[in-house]
Each structure stands twice: as structure tokens, then as C-alpha cells.
Amino acid sequence: MDLGLNGKTALVTGASRGIGLAVADELAAEGVRVFGVARNISPELEKVAAGTVSADLSTTEGAVAAVEAALTELGGIDILVNNVGGGDADKLTLGGFLDTPEDQWRKLFDLNLFGVVTAVRAALPSIVERRGAIITVSSINARIPAAGPVGYSEAKAALTNFGKRLSEEFGPQGVRVNTVSPGPVGTDIWRGPNQLGAKLAAANGVSHEDFLAAIPGQFNIAAGRIAEPAEIAALVTFLASERAAIINGSDYVIDGGILKNA
């Protein structure tokens, strides 16, 4: 299937590993010139990207600088993939609302929402001119706020709503805005030795290996397994393509069947 992406340009945030790297790789394979942004640029990203820049997207300065660097390198942005998000596992409190410091809320919103708002604001003039597409990676946590560290689900809920607002305002100008909401994905966040999965395993008094093996049952995943980054990237790439020309303002849940009423 020809997706009509050859020769397009894309800015992908959080692109050095996991879902972001898989998206960068998939878009590049379709002939897209990809500009990747991350705090730490990986060798794998450098292999597939036309250009990269290291930036902290949780800050206004970092987000603006990243978009400006992409515009300089690419000459314009057809596709913006807002993938950056999550949080530093070693700095997250896993307790309840009253156990969670206010600073955690601010940091999670700065990274998962406000960094995206800033990047979109900076990139939109070029995207509007090119009648391009914005795809934002949110989370099923936007629909199940009791799950995950306090503040994370709330930030993702705001992020998903932000995408809907953009689709309503800029859809008439030819810009398509959609959201992809994964469940657990086989990235370092879950599988890494010092990341969230390992921290949750320790908090529950089980080995990391046993914790990962139990995820499909604990989350009642109909598919019997968690998703892989390439599977999320395939959906993102389709939504960026001409084949998805009529799709706008949608939130696509891709969780293997965790949510039963999605």
C-alpha cells in the first residue's frame, strides 16, 4: 500500500528509543525526512534521521529550540509526532494523592502537556501552510485515572483533550489532528532495569521478570500480551499518511483489549 508519504518531512519528539524511535524508523522507511528530538540522542536515531537535536521538551525554551532546529533542517514540517512523555521513574512517587508532592504534578504536566503545547504552537504555522498532520501519543491512562503515578493520568487526559481542540480549530484549514493511546508497550519504561516497571515490581515485592509476565493477566489484556513499539509506529504512520485523509479528531486506543468500552 502506497501511503503517499515519500518526500514529506516530520518532526518526532522523544525519538531516541521506544515508540519514538520506532516511529522515526517507520516514517523514514516510507521516504519521510525525519528530524528527531530527545534529551539524549541515540546511535539508532542518528541512523534513520535526517537531523537530530538534543533538547529538554519539558521547558518552553527547549521545545521552541527543537522546532526551530527542525524547520531549519527540513525547510518546513508536514508531520508532527508528539511522542515525548512519561517521566523519570527514579523521581516518581508511587503513593496516593496525599503522598505525592506537588512538584511531581508540575513536572508531569510540564513534560506530558505543556511541552507539547509549546511545540505545537511553534510548528503550526508550517503545518497549516502545508496542510499537514499532527499525531500525539497519549495513553489509555487518560481514561483510567486511578492507574499509574499521581499526575500522569491527569496530564494525559488533558493532552488527549488538547488534541481534540486542535482538530476542531485547524481541521477546516486542512490540518488533521489525531491521538494514539497505547496501553503497556514493550519499551524500557516497562522492561528497563531501572525504569517504572522495575520500580512497580519492587513496590509489589516481586521480581521484575515475574511482574512483566503477569501484566497481561493483571490488565486483562484480551490479546494476551503487551504491544510492541513497531505496532504503535505502524498506526502513527498510517494516521500521518494520505490514506487517512478523512480521519481527524480521533483518539485511537491500541491496548490489546484492556479497555472494554473504548
Per the annotation, the verdict on 252 as an active-site residue is: no
**Rounded to 5 degrees, what are φ and ψ at 54?**
-90, 125
> Which stretches of the chain drop beneath a pLDDT of 50?
none
- Reported as a single tens digit per residue, the pLDDT across 147-180 is 678 889 999 999 999 999 999 999 999 999 999 9
Q: What is the pLDDT of residues 9-26, one digit of tens each?
A: 999 999 999 999 999 999
pLDDT computed for residue 117 by the predictor: 98
Residue of 35, 114, 152, 252 marked catalytic: 152
Residue owning grid cell 504536566: 109
In terms of residues, how long is the chain? 262
Residues 6+ apart with CB under 8 A from 57: 13, 14, 37, 39, 63, 66, 84, 111, 115, 116, 118, 119
| Long-range contacts at 41-45 (CB < 8 A, ≥ 24 apart) | 41/16, 42/16, 42/17, 44/16, 44/17, 45/15, 45/16, 45/17, 45/21
Sign of CA pseudo-dihedral 36, 38, 44, 46: positive
Q: What is the pLDDT of residue 190?
A: 79
Which homologous superfamily does the CATH classification assign to the domain defined by 9-185+228-254? NAD(P)-binding Rossmann-like Domain (3.40.50.720)
pLDDT of residue 219: 87
- In this prediction, residue 108 carries a pLDDT of 93
The answer to whether the predicted template modeling score (pTM) of the entire model surpasses 0.95 is no
Owner of C-alpha cell 522515526: 24
Say if CB 83 and CB 111 are below 8 A apart: no
- Residues linked to residue 82 through DSSP beta bridges, in sequence order: 136
